[in-house]
Amino acid sequence: MKRFRKTITLCMAVMFCLSMSLTAFASVNHIQDWTSDKGNGQANGKSSGSGSISSSGNQGTTSGSYNFSNGNVNINVTWKTSPNNSGFNNLQGGGWRTGTSNRVINYNIGSYSFTSGSNGCAYMCGYGWSRSPLTEYYVVERWNNFSNNNGTNLGTFQSDGGSYTAYRESTSGPNITGSGQFQKLKSVRSSQVSTGSTQRITMQNHFNFWSSKGYSLSNHDYQVFIAEGYNSAGSANFSVW
């Protein structure tokens, strides 16, 4: 009987580890396509196949494509803020409809370019939301004119061969539940990743560090790797898996 119980316990442990592994490396199944003046774009929420990314409004335009293949997704996007307009924000990327704390985001930035006025910025990052508490989070890997002047510095830590500085900010505005109060957590890599090379983000390391500072997250919503621009013009071609 003792041997039987040990066998059952071992099998359960193996099944649990396998389940966690499959969750961490599950195939991508979600396109995030959003602009500040149009909201969710035509590609938002797509989980397979290929198609266009396209949005045109008073504030700016985006165009491009997505293509799912063999468990990964390729995103090709170009964005531009309209002349004499401000406040244009675009966000396009791919990943998973439901995030997990142990996700490993693999990505390769094939190309990235950026032009901007004095108050514009752009970055490429791991990105997602949790609902408990309501939190928008970033792991910033590459950027232009990125600033954290409104955030509290939580300290530095090491992950995936790089050094990151973490920030927290309390804010109010549009979010995944509508509009209202929420927090932002960010990890910003000290040295930018290069284009054309395979990289990864071990999300567990970032969640653990944020948690050690008193900011634990649970009940994850979508979790993606994105190109985001604000009052800028640029383009990016990248793959996520």
- Active site includes 228? yes
What is the CATH superfamily name and number for domain 28-240? Glycoside hydrolase family 11/12, catalytic domain (2.60.120.180)
Q: How far is CA 31 from CA 94, 120, 183, 238, in A?
A: 5, 24, 23, 13
What is the block-wise mean pLDDT of the chain (241 residues), using blocks of 10 residues?
Answer: 46 38 72 94 96 94 97 97 87 98 98 83 97 98 85 97 97 95 97 97 98 98 97 96 98
Q: Is 136 a catalytic residue?
A: yes
Task: Give the CA dihedral 203, 91, 195, 46, nearest 10 degrees.
Answer: 80
Q: Give the pLDDT score at 13.
A: 41
Which residue among 103, 130, 228, 238 is the active-site one? 228
Q: Which residues pair with residue 44 across a beta bridge?
A: none
What's the pTM? 0.89
Q: Please give the pLDDT value at position 116.
A: 74
Given a contact cutoff of 8 angstroms between Cβ atoms, the answer to whether 168 and 150 are in contact is no
Token code pair at residue 163: 């050094």
The catalytic residue among 136, 141, 229, 231 is 136
